[in-house]
Structure 1
Amino acid sequence: MLSTLQVVTTVTVGLMVGVEFSVAVIMSRILDALPGDGRQQGHAHGGRLLGALMPFWYGGSLVLSAVWAVAAWDRSGTPLVVVAAGLLLLSVLMSVLLLVPINNRNKNWTPENRPADWEEQLGRWSRYHYVRVAVIIAAFTLLVTALV
């Protein structure tokens, strides 16, 4: 049972890392290259789509890693899982406090109602997102290391 939990947790976090890394490195560049209002509209659509999914993914990853830490408390590698869970908690806090407020504004913007500083706000979101991606990559790395 513990092995199944470890695999499910690692795959779940790994997929989340892949999606978020793709958003940071690939999708943002694609959206930023769109002409006219396409850039802002693409970011708004992405914010609506991923904004609906990611709370469950981040929360689920945190819960799975915490359950793994408790279930394997007396085994080697558990300190790594505990630190990974702490990093995932940090990523959730970063999301709620820094990224979600910007995303909640952005997902409702249109070319007619967006604020004058919309590009600055998207830039700030991107910088926070890069840090969050680094945090979840570190968590994923610790989970994988705990397996070996």
Structure 2
Amino acid sequence: MLDALEAFTVVVVGLMVGVEFSVAFVINRILDALPEDSGQLGRSHGGRMLGAVMPVWYIASLALVAVWAVAGWHHPGAGLVVTAGGLLVLSVIMSVLLLVPINDRGRTWTPENRPADWKEQMNRWERYHCVRVAVIVAAFALLAAALA
């Protein structure tokens, strides 16, 4: 049963990492290349859509890692799982304190009501997001290593 939990957790966390990596290095580059206000409208839509899904995914990932850490406490790799859990906690804290406030503002913006500094705010969000991606990639790598 622990083997199934480990595999399921790695898949769930890995998919989350893939989505966040894609946002950072693919989707946002595509949106930046769109003409006129299309990129900003796409970011607002993405903020609404992913803003609804990702919190559940982060918390579910963290919960799965916590269950794995408890269930596998006396198994090899437990320290890696606990460290990965700590990194996921850090990613949630970063999200709540740094990224969500910007996202909450950005998802309501239209070309008519966006603030003058909207691009600077999006650039700040992207910088924080890249750091968060690095954190969750590290967590994922630790979970994968714990399986080995």
> TM (normalized to structure 1)?
0.99
> For residues 3 and 75 of structure 1, what CA distance do their matches in structure 2 show?
11
Q: Counterpart of 2:146?
A: 146
Measured after TM superposition, the shift of residue 109 of structure 1 is: 0.3
> For residues 58 and 114 of structure 1, what CA distance do their matches in structure 2 show?
28
Q: Counterpart of 2:7?
A: 7
> For residues 106 and 79 of structure 1, what CA distance do their matches in structure 2 show?
38
Count matched residues: 148
Q: Aligned to 1:88, what secondary structure does the other structure show?
A: helix
Q: Counterpart of 2:68?
A: 68
> For residues 76 and 8 of structure 1, what CA distance do their matches in structure 2 show?
18
> For residues 33 and 46 of structure 1, what CA distance do their matches in structure 2 show?
16
Moved over 2 A (4+): none
Q: Which amino acid aligns with 2:81?
A: V
> TM (normalized to structure 2)?
0.99
* Percent of aligned pairs with the same amino acid: 68
> For residues 6 and 123 of structure 1, what CA distance do their matches in structure 2 show?
36
Q: Counterpart of 2:57?
A: 57
- 1:1-148 matches, within 5 Å, as 1-148=1-148
Q: Which amino acid aligns with 1:32?
A: D
Measured after TM superposition, the shift of residue 39 of structure 1 is: 1.2
> For residues 5 and 76 of structure 2, what CA distance do their matches in structure 1 show?
16
Which ranges in structure 2 are unaligned for 5 or more consecutive residues? none
CA RMSD in angstroms comes to 0.4
Which ranges in structure 1 are unaligned for 5 or more consecutive residues? none
Q: Aligned to 1:109, what secondary structure does the other structure show?
A: coil
